[in-house]
Amino acid sequence: MDRPIRVLVSKPGLDGHDRGAKVIARALRDAGMEVIYTGLRQTPEQITNAAIQEDVDCVAVSILSGAHGTLIPKIAELLRKEGADDVLLVAGGVIPQEDIPFLKEHGVAEVFTPGTPTDVTIQFIRNNIKR
């Protein structure tokens, strides 16, 4: 049976700029996905628990404050601890190129930097979800 892909869209940390998160939420919805939006100021624990309860295929986090190096690997680690490492983790926002290898080593499948068309993100999620 054809089932919609479920994606958790979240803003980790204290950063309040949610334009990108909301745009991507709408774009994923328009691509037929079921988006669970958690809003601002989410801790890695909150994001992980939500991802598990919602049984999502993908967690998409948006972060522009520069705290990505601390917060995103923590989400990956918590997901792994919960045995939910089949959840695809992607990130977007103001993330310098040179930080991307570090994030990828720490459980992030892909990083979408400013200017990435939403289609690229949509296709990446479609092609890489693990079930």
> Which residues are near other proteins by CB under 8 A?
1, 3-4, 6, 13-19, 22-23, 25-43, 45-47, 49-50, 52-55, 65-67, 69-71, 82-84, 94, 96-98, 113-115, 117-119
> Rounded to whole angstroms, what are the CA distances from 27 to 72, 73, 82, 121?
22, 25, 29, 9
Give φ, ψ of 111 to 5 degrees.
-120, 125
Q: Closest separation between CB of residue 128 and other proteins, Å?
A: 18
Q: What is the C-alpha separation between 83 and 52, in angstroms, rounded?
A: 10
Q: Closest separation between CB of residue 83 and other proteins, Å?
A: 7
Nearer CB in complex with other proteins: 33/90: 33
Query: In whole angstroms, what separates CA 90 from the centre of its chain?
Result: 4
- Residue type at position 114: P
Q: Closest separation between CB of residue 88 and other proteins, Å?
A: 15
Nearer CB in complex with other proteins: 42/88: 42
